[in-house]
């Protein structure tokens, strides 16, 4: 059910299974851990990230009590660790995510050797983490290490890697190289799960970001709206994916010189993102930075300066002062503060930049 995007039904089934296993086999049985892992994955998809993390942590506690060396238990432990790492990454806890992925890597290599297919998933996870940290060359290297380990028949994993390769080339500014990867991910995943699945919507949104970067704003807007329709229908109108992609669509509308539409979209996006992630998350700061660019372009310099200061403070705290997003926000803040202080009106205004959101 979870794989098909039926998350409410999947949550009910996972909770029934969890209660049954606890009643029959006791609270520390491996079957309880398995049910907790599945419930955690469903809760993560439903944006209940803290609950999801608790499920994965409890599963890991149960599984590490086992000393049998059973390969299925080792793989389930790895699955729980990488799931928890993904939640930590989403919440901006990058050091915790890194630790979880490293533990998973050690367990796979020790038990199954250096060519195990599970390594591909962990390398992919490391790539996503390094991209979030702004370490783009390292991210690309991890994706390239993952690719030869994926079995040819595993089209789901190949679609995920195509998505991520497109995303990292987008982040590196190689838009022409990014687009074929993104289109391949859409094609592969659509053939697997159909066009109305949230995973396909994520692929479509990633393609939209690349198409936008290549200057086709009409197609980008259409792709974002297509993705939003699926996210809204399957995950709900207040889901994190809706919030993130509303901000992306706002940036496109901003470039299409529709400031009223863009401002309304940014505000809707911020309300969702702050509710799910909190005010001090890097994704929230990205939306704040882009709203600040809009306010500056509309001549609201005081409001723009305040928003740039907020975005910069969050980027520095969440990502570090040298992250590309922090560098961009600092440049934008300085430019608008110079503009506010300037008395002459003959000088052309400095062109400010939006923070580009790439595929997740």
What is the extent of the structural domain holding 298? 237-360
Q: Coil, helix or strand for 121?
A: helix
Q: SS3 sequence, 264-285?
A: HHHHHHHHHHHHHHCCCCHHHH
282 and 329 both lie in a single domain: yes
Tell me the C-alpha distance between 300 and 322, whole Å.
28
pLDDT of 358 above 90 = no
Q: At what angle do helices 198-213 and 175-193 cross, to 10 degrees?
A: 160
Model confidence band, residue 68 (pLDDT cutoffs 50, 70, 90): confident
Chosen domain end from 194, 227, 260:
227
Q: Total domain count for the chain?
A: 2
Report the pLDDT averaged over residues 146-169: 96
Mean pLDDT of the chain, nearest integer: 94
Supply the CATH number for residue 176's domain: 1.25.40
Model confidence band, residue 353 (pLDDT cutoffs 50, 70, 90): low
Supply the CATH number for residue 249's domain: 1.25.40.10
Tell me the C-alpha distance between 277 and 261, whole Å.
24
Tell me the C-alpha distance between 162 and 299, whole Å.
41
| pTM of the predicted protein model | 0.89
Chosen domain end from 227, 252, 281:
227
Over residues 174-224, the pLDDT tens digits come to 999 999 999 999 999 999 999 999 999 999 999 999 999 999 999 999 999
pLDDT of 160 above 80 = yes
Residue 65 lies in a domain: no
171 and 249 both lie in a single domain: no
Residue 111 lies in a domain: no
């Amino acid at each position: 059910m979870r794989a098909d995007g039926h998350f409410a039904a999947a949550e009910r089934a996972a909770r029934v299974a969890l209660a049954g296993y606890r009643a029959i086999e006791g609270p520390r049985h491996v079957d309880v851990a398995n049910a907790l892992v599945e419930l955690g994955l469903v809760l993560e998809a439903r944006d209940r990230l803290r609950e999801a993390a608790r499920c994965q942590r409890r599963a890991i506690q149960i599984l590490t009590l086992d000393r049998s060396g059973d390969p299925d238990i080792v793989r389930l432990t790895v699955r729980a660790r990488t799931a928890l790492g993904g939640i930590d990454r989403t919440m901006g806890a990058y050091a915790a995510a890194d630790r979880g992925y490293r533990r998973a890597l050690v367990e796979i290599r020790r038990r199954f050797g250096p060519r195990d297919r599970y390594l591909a998933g962990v390398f992919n996870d490391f790539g996503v983490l390094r991209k979030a940290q702004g370490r783009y060359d390292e991210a690309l290297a991890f994706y390239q290490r993952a690719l030869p380990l994926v079995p040819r028949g595993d089209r789901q994993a190949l679609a995920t890697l195509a998505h991520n390769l497109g995303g990292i080339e987008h982040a590196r500014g190689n838009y022409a190289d990014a687009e074929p990867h993104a289109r391949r991910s859409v094609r592969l995943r659509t053939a697997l799960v159909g066009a109305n699945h949230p995973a396909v919507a994520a692929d479509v949104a990633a393609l939209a970001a690349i198409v936008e970067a290549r200057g086709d704003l009409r197609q980008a807007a259409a792709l974002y709206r297509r993705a939003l329709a699926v996210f809204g229908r399957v995950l709900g109108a207040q889901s994190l994916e809706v919030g993130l992609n509303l901000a992306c669509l706002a940036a496109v509308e901003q470039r299409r010189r529709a400031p009223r539409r863009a401002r309304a979209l940014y505000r809707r996006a911020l309300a969702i993102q702050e509710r799910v992630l909190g005010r001090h998350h890097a994704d929230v700061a990205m939306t704040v930075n882009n709203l600040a660019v809009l306010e500056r372009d509309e001549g609201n310099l005081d409001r723009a300066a305040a928003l740039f200061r907020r975005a910069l403070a969050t980027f520095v705290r969440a990502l570090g002062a040298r992250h590309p997003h922090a560098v961009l926000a600092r440049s934008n803040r300085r430019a608008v503060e110079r503009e506010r202080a300037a008395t002459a009106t003959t000088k052309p205004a400095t062109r400010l930049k939006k923070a580009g959101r790439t595929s997740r």
